[in-house]
Every structure is written in structure tokens, then in C-alpha cells.
Amino acid sequence: MYDVIIIGGGPAGLNAAMVLGRCRRRVLLFDTGKPRNRWSHSMNGFISRDGINPQEFLELGRAELQKYKVEVVCKLVKTATYSKGHFVVNDDEGTVYTSHKLLLATGLKDKLPNLPGLEELYGKSVHHCQYCDGWESRDKAIAVYGQGRRGVGQSLAMKTWSDSVTLYTDGTNKLTQSDWDKLKLNGIAVCTDKIARLEGEDGKLQRIVLQNGEVQEQQAMFFNTGTKQQCDLGTQLGCEFTSKGVIKTRRLQKSNIPGLFVAGDAARDVQMVIVAAAEGMKAGVAINMELEQLYLKREPQAGNKPVAV
């Protein structure tokens, strides 16, 4: 039986694996190699690693794990269950693994707007997060995509980086009078026409073509169309979720299931690489403390007195 199985080898899972490896725990890490930011060429906002290629960042992390003897398996975990104080995990080839503790670091995936031409530009000039890519889009002509009222807040936020911001509601017209007033006051144009496609070259957005044939020049687009869990293991295990679809965590990344921890984007909190890595660290420390309780010998008279950690 492993001490810990970690599912997900993004920044959260890798950092947890590092601390647990350093604690000399028997660690197995599963990863299918689909981190959320794999569309992007540059990972921003991580001090000392600002602008690094996201794939290179993960390769550096994996290489560092080698000296701690963490076992890494590039397989999909299909099922995970909790039974009688331990976890049972099945990979997609039917192999069964067991562990005392389990960490879900499986991340999220973004629901992309259904716009022809978007996929070629996603992660390069079409983004979802202003903290990740706002600086790179500074002073550009910025389009914000949001059907209904979803884009109002993001349009206002983008004024931090550019004077030229246009909200595209893509055929919907659900803005309230107060939305229109706020947008106008802040110099944000609004286009309610349906979008036909995005056009650009080498990953750079150049224009938005509307269904009425009109062409509008834009250089970057931001959207906020929501996310979902990258896999359903949290549901299988009986985790509690927030209304936004992320797993509820308590202090030190503990879930509502004993021995089950959740770190990174799959759990609630700011969704950025440095936060995911820090949550992996916190979960690793908490898991190690629980394992100390399991392994350290107690005096017979001590009963249930906990071991100081």
C-alpha cells in the first residue's frame, strides 16, 4: 500500500509530491499530461519563473522529483473510492492501487466560447484571465466576450490595461440600464451583434467578423464563460462542491472525506500556478502530519492521546 496517491501532475500535484518525497513517504503520482494552461506559451506571474514556457516549468518540476524517488505513472485514473480507512484507485488499464491518503490535484478545464477561429488563437491572444495575460495585452484593442451580462465586470476590469475595450454580447441583449450606464461612463463600447468568426495570424487576433458582414479590428480577446472539473473523481468520492463547481476545502486543503485532500484549481481559491503549487505544499504538510499519527509508536497507556506534531 502506498502512503499517498496523488492524482494530477500539474503544479499542485508536483509540489505536494516534492514535500512528501522529502518526508520519505511512499508516493505514487498519476498524470495524463493535460494541464489547464497547455494552450499557452508563457506562464506569467510566478516570481522567478515569470514568462517561462508552461511545459518547461512542469519538466523542471518532474526532474526535481527524481531524487526523492516519487513514482510517476502517465496513466488516467478512472475510479477512486474510500473504504475502511484507505483509498482504492483504478487506472484505465484496470490496475488497482491502494493508499492511506489521497490527494486530488486534477485541475479544471475551461468552457470555451463557441466561436469559429478561437481555438487557433486561444492562449496566445485570446485569454480568460487578466492576471495571467493582461500585461501582455496592455494598450491593445481589447475585445471582451460575454453573453448575457457575464462580460460586464470583465470589461470594466480590462480598463486597467487598455483604454480601448469593447464588450461583445454575441447576439444577446440582456444588459440592464445600470450596466449600460457604467460601461458608457467608462468609455467601453458594446456590440450586441452575433459573431461569425475570429480571424488572425500566428496566434494573433486581428479582427472579429460579425454575422452582418461588418469587420471590427481587435488585437486581444478575454472571456469568462466558466469552468468544469477536469475529471469526476471528486464526485465519485463524495466531495462537497461550491456553487461554482470547485471542491470545498477546509484548513490545509482537507476535504469532507477523512484522508482526502484537494489542491490547485480543483479546490476553491485563486486559480493561478503559484497558488496551486502553494496548496500542494500545504496539503503535503498536512498529509505528512496525518501519516506521523499513523506510523509513530504510542505508549500503551497513552490511549488515544495524539502525538505532538
Ligand X SMILES: Cc1cc2nc3c(=O)[nH]c(=O)nc-3n(C[C@H](O)[C@H](O)[C@H](O)COP(=O)(O)OP(=O)(O)OC[C@H]3O[C@@H](n4cnc5c(N)ncnc54)[C@H](O)[C@@H]3O)c2cc1C
Residues that bind ligand X (CB under 6 A): 7-13, 30-37, 39-40, 43-46, 76-77, 105-107, 110, 123, 129, 132, 230-231, 233, 264-266, 271-274, 276
Q: Which of 252, 253, 260, 288 is nearest to 24 (CA)?
A: 288
Residue 34 or 248 having the CB closest to ligand X: 34
**Rounded Cα distance, 84 and 75, in Å:** 25
Residue 175 or 218 having the CB closest to ligand X: 218
**Rounded Cα distance, 109 and 95, in Å:** 26
To ligand X, the closest distance from the beta carbon of 13 in angstroms equals 6
To ligand X, the closest distance from the beta carbon of 186 in angstroms equals 26
Residue 47 or 185 having the CB closest to ligand X: 47
To ligand X, the closest distance from the beta carbon of 137 in angstroms equals 12
To ligand X, the closest distance from the beta carbon of 215 in angstroms equals 26
Q: What count of other Cβ atoms lies within 10 Å of the Cβ of residue 160?
A: 11
Residue 265: CA atoms inside 13 Å, Cβ hemisphere, count? 21
Both ends of the chain: CA-CA distance in Å?
24
> Could you identify the residue written with the cell 496551486?
276
To ligand X, the closest distance from the beta carbon of 127 in angstroms equals 6
Question: For the chain, what is the radius of gyration of the CA atoms?
Answer: 23
To ligand X, the closest distance from the beta carbon of 274 in angstroms equals 6
Residue 188 or 266 having the CB closest to ligand X: 266
**Rounded Cα distance, 28 and 103, in Å:** 10
**Rounded Cα distance, 11 and 65, in Å:** 12
**Rounded Cα distance, 247 and 250, in Å:** 10
Residue 13 or 151 having the CB closest to ligand X: 13
To ligand X, the closest distance from the beta carbon of 41 in angstroms equals 9
Residue 151 or 280 having the CB closest to ligand X: 280
Residue 158 or 188 having the CB closest to ligand X: 158
Q: What CA–CA distances, in Å, run from 61 to 10, 12, 235?
A: 9, 11, 28
**Rounded Cα distance, 71 and 81, in Å:** 21
**Rounded Cα distance, 147 and 268, in Å:** 25
